[in-house]
Amino acid sequence: MLSCAHGDRQAFALLYERYAPKCAGFVRSLLKDPEEAADITQDIFVRLWVYRSRLLRINSFEPYLMNIAKNAVLDRCDHIQVTRKFAENFRVTFDEVSEETARRYEADEFLRRVQKAVSWMPPARRKVFLLSRFYGMDNKSIASLCELSVRTVETHLFHATQYLRKKLLP
């Protein structure tokens, strides 16, 4: 781990060979989806490489890795849940407006564009935006939950709204 932390690619490759199968198996046992497990495992090891200097503070790598894997699965599940809830809310809105097939196609297409735009937001901004717009939390509650100032929450929401307008409106 010391060699990895100092940027030794061969040491990292050995770490990957030894622990990636265990990590993928653990993730697969939680998700029951081999492809998703492989994607998450790959993402975990990419992050480990990017933040390799943190390895200097780790006493036992395997429990550390399994904790990262558990959190990655929880994050993925949260993302899926938020995406589904957003899709349901959005569909209800558009179903009320019109039952025409063309309108539904436009709504689905717009939903995909919104989801894609939201997914490209910086993580903190995306989290604040989703908590505000989809969970109905007020700025003070979001600030407390995310350990941010209310002003920072307001700034995130302002930039998120501006970003969505720019991406979605003609």
CATH of 2-73, one of 3.40.50.150, 1.10.1740.10, 1.10.10.10, 3.10.20.600: 1.10.1740.10
Cite the residue boundaries of each domain of the chain with CATH code 1.10.1740.10: 2-73
Predicted TM-score (pTM) of the model is 0.49
The rounded distance, in Å, linking the Cα atoms of 149 and 82 is: 24
Band of residue 112 on the pLDDT scale cut at 50, 70, 90? confident
Query: Which residue, chain included where needed, has tokens 């503070």?
Result: 57
CA distance 81 to 147: 23
Question: Which pLDDT value is given to residue 85?
Answer: 72
Mean pLDDT on 140-146? 91
- Residue 15's pLDDT is what? 93
Q: What is the pLDDT of residues 65-84, one digit of tens each?
A: 999 998 888 888 777 677 66
Per the model's pLDDT, the better-predicted residue between 98 and 132 turns out to be 132
Question: Mean pLDDT, the chain, as a whole number?
Answer: 85
Q: 151 or 89, which is more confident?
A: 151
* Reported CATH class of domain 76-168: mainly alpha
CA distance 51 to 168: 34
Q: Residue 126: CB partners within 8 Å, gap ≥ 6? A: 118, 119, 160
